[in-house]
Structure 1
Amino acid sequence: MKWVLFVLVIIVILVIVISVYAANFFLNVALFRNNKWYDETGHKMMNPDNFNKGKSQYDLIEEQQIQQGDAFWQLAFAQDHWLKTGGEKLYSRLIIPHPESKKWVICVHGYRSFGKRDMAFVASKFSEQGYNILVPDLKAHGKSTGNVIGMGWLDRLDLLKWIQEVLVIEPAAEIILFGGSMGAATVMMTSGENLPENIKGFVVDCGYSSVYNEFGAMLRSAFKLPAFPILTIANALAKKKVGYSLKDASSVRQLEKNELPTLFIHGTGDKFVPHQMLYENMEATNGVKESLIVEKAPHLSSFIYEPEHYFETVFEFIHRYC
């Protein structure tokens, strides 16, 4: 009997040690900018669709959209704009094709990406509708400095500062916040803050319900590991390592305080953020809400799979409610 007890104790200790190691490893991979393992291996595991490009009709559409976005990014009315905050220097592209317009959009990119990559084409489509645009690189992304990835939770505070930057340029601006992936989570997490009346509504594409739930999904699907106890330990470690709790970083909790119109978008082929999270987010918000579900679209690819339907839906929603 004593041997059985001894073996059980050893097993429990091993499970705890392995789980602590796994939790710490996962946090380092997920939440710090410079991680060689993520660059070489993790990215492909976590978002395989980014590595399955070929010459399908959707790949050709994406290439055309990238070209359009790149050309728009370089036009004469676009310029670099910087913001210093908390010892960091944050970058954005300020695009003012319509100086007399009061319509503005802030477009927020996704996880480990940057503004030009994810939002240049989207920005061009908003310009066609008479909008001026600000496209930031979130902290620890793109040209912005920083090492800790905020997963939307820390970024919501920077987004509040970017809103103020727009209001310095145009105090009467009517602003839409548009986000994709982690950018969508940033927008949803910002929705629960005390916002100026200039903010008129939100468009969020494939955002997660909380960092805790998203990391749980990643552990199961990409790493083939159980969320418990690794995620429980990771949540306890996160506050000390990165300054925020994975559970506190919740789109759902912030949306519960939101009363502004919100359009939720997701593709059913998303392997990075489960599309079922759309329903959790949508249920939480108290404002006018609609959804757009794009069948088979991978992560942040709905406007590639159904571009006309996508942008018709976006602008119809904005014109009706915002």
Structure 2
Amino acid sequence: MKWIVLILVIVLLLLIAISVYAANFFLNVALFRENDWYDKAGHKMMNPDNFNKGKSKYDLIEEQQIQDGDIFWNRDFAKDYWLEINGEKLYSRLITPHPTSKKWVICVHGYRSFGKRDMAFVASKFADQGYNILVPDLRAHGKSTGNVIGMGWLDRLDLMNWIQEVMRIEPLAEIVLFGGSMGAATVMMTSGEALPNTVKGLVVDCGYSSVYNEFSAMLRSAFKLPAFPILTIANVMAKKRVGYSLKEASSIRQLTKNKLPTLFIHGTGDKFVPHQMLYDNMEATNGVKESLIIEKAPHLSSFIYEPEHYFDTVFEFIHRYC
């Protein structure tokens, strides 16, 4: 009997040690810019669609959108714009094709990406509708400094500063917040803060319901590991190491305080952020809400799969409610 108890204790201690190691590894690769495991291996594990490119009609559409976005990004009405916050230098691209327009949009990119990559083409579509645009690189991304990845939670505070910066440029601005992936989570997490009346509405494409839920999904799908006890331990570790817990970084919790009109978008083929999270986010918000579901579209690819339907829906929603 003593031997059985001893074996059980040893097994339990071993499981705890493995779980602590796994939690620490996961936090290191997920939340620190300087860790390159995601670029070397993790991205392909977590979002394989980005590595299955060929010459399908969708690949050709994406190539054309990238080219169009690059041209737009470098037009003479676009310039680099910097903001210094708490010792970090945050970059954005300020694009003002309509200097007298009061219509503005802030477009926010996704996880371990940067503004130009994810939002240059989107910005061009807003310009076609008479908007001026600000496209930030979130801290620890792109040209912005920083090492800790905020997963939208820390970034919501920076986004509020960018909103103030747009208002400084144009005091009568009417601002739409547009985000994709982690950028969508950033917008949703910002929605629960005390926003100025100049912010009129939100468009969020494939945003997760919380960091904890997103990491749970990734552990199951990419690593084939259970969320418990790894994320339970990681949740405690995160608070000490990066200043926020995985559970408090919640789109759902913030959306319960949101009263702004919000359009939720997701592709059913998303392997990175499960599209079922859209329904959890929609249920949480208190504002006017509509959804756009694009069948079979992978992560942040809905405007590649059905570009006309996508942007028609976005601008019809904005014109109706914002």
CA positional deviation for 1:36:
2.5
Deviation at 1:37, TM superposition (A): 1.8
TM-score by length of 1: 1.00
Question: For 1:37 and 1:115, how far apart are their aligned partners in 2?
Answer: 22
Corresponding residue number in structure 2 for 1:45: 45
- Give the structure 1 partner of residue 16 of structure 2: 16
1:214-262 CA-to-partner distances (Å, cap 9, x unmatched) read 0000000001111000000000100011110100000000000000100
Query: Match of 1:49, as an amino acid?
Result: D
Identity within the alignment, %: 84
Query: Structure 2: how far apart are the matches of 1:313 and 1:36?
Result: 37
**1:203 positional shift:** 0.1
Deviation per CA, 1:170-217: give whole Å up to 9, x if none: 000000000000000000000000000000000000000000000000
Q: How does 1:127-206 map to 2 (within 5 A)?
A: 127-206=127-206
Q: Give the SS at the match of 1:44.
A: helix
**Aligned counterpart, 2:228:** 228
The whole-number CA distance in structure 1 between the counterparts of 2:86 and 2:209 is 27
Instruction: Quote the Cα distance in structure 2 between the aligned partners of 1:34 and 1:241.
Output: 14
Greater alpha carbon shift after TM alignment, 159-168 vs 28-37: 28-37
Partners of 1:39 and 1:200 lie apart in 2 by 36
User: Alignment partner of 1:91: what SS?
Assistant: strand
How far is 1:303 from its partner? 0.1
CA RMSD of superposed structures (Å): 0.4
2:278 maps to which residue?
A: 278
Matches within 5 A, 1:233-244: 233-244=233-244
User: Equivalents in 2 of 1:39, 1:61: separation in Å?
Assistant: 25
| Aligned position for 1:7 | 7
- Aligned equivalent of 1:295: 295
Cα distance between partner residues in 2 of 1:223 and 1:86: 36
Cα distance in structure 1, aligned partners of 2:38 and 2:162: 29
Q: Provide the rounded CA distance (Å) in 2 between the counterparts of 1:269 and 1:42.
A: 19
CA distance in structure 1 between the partners assigned to 2:139 and 2:111 by the alignment: 11
Q: Matched residues in 1 for 2:223 and 2:59: separation?
A: 27
CA distance in 2, matches of 1:69, 1:116: 8
Distance (Å, rounded) in 1 between the aligned partners of 2:264 and 2:110:
15
SS in 1 for 2:91: strand
Per-residue CA shift, 1:115-148, capped at 9, x if unaligned? 0000000000000000000000000000000000
Whole-Å separation in 2 of the counterparts to 1:113 and 1:46: 14
Q: Find the counterpart in structure 1 of residue 107 from structure 2.
A: 107
The residue aligned with 2:62 is 62
Q: Runs of 4+ in structure 1 displaced over 3 angstroms?
A: none
Q: Which amino acid aligns with 1:64?
A: Q
Letter in 2 for 1:66: I
1:305 is aligned to 2:305: yes
Q: CA deviation at 1:69?
A: 0.3
Tell me by how many angstroms 1:43 deviates. Answer: 1.1
Per the alignment, in what secondary structure is the counterpart of residue 204 of structure 2?
strand
Gaps in structure 1 of 5+ consecutive residues: none
Distance 1:307 1:163 in 2: 27
**Pairing 1:318–2:314 present:** no
CA offsets, 1:16-54, max 9 Å, x none?
A: 000000000000000000212222111111111111111
2:250 is aligned with 1:250: yes
Q: 1:200 & 1:155 partners in 2: Cα distance?
A: 20
Distance 2:268 2:197 in 1: 34
> Counterpart of 1:222 in 2: which secondary structure?
helix
The normalised TM-score by structure 2 is: 1.00
Distance 1:40 1:173 in 2: 42
Q: In structure 1, give the amino acid aligned to 2:76.
A: A
| Cross-structure match for 2:211 | 211
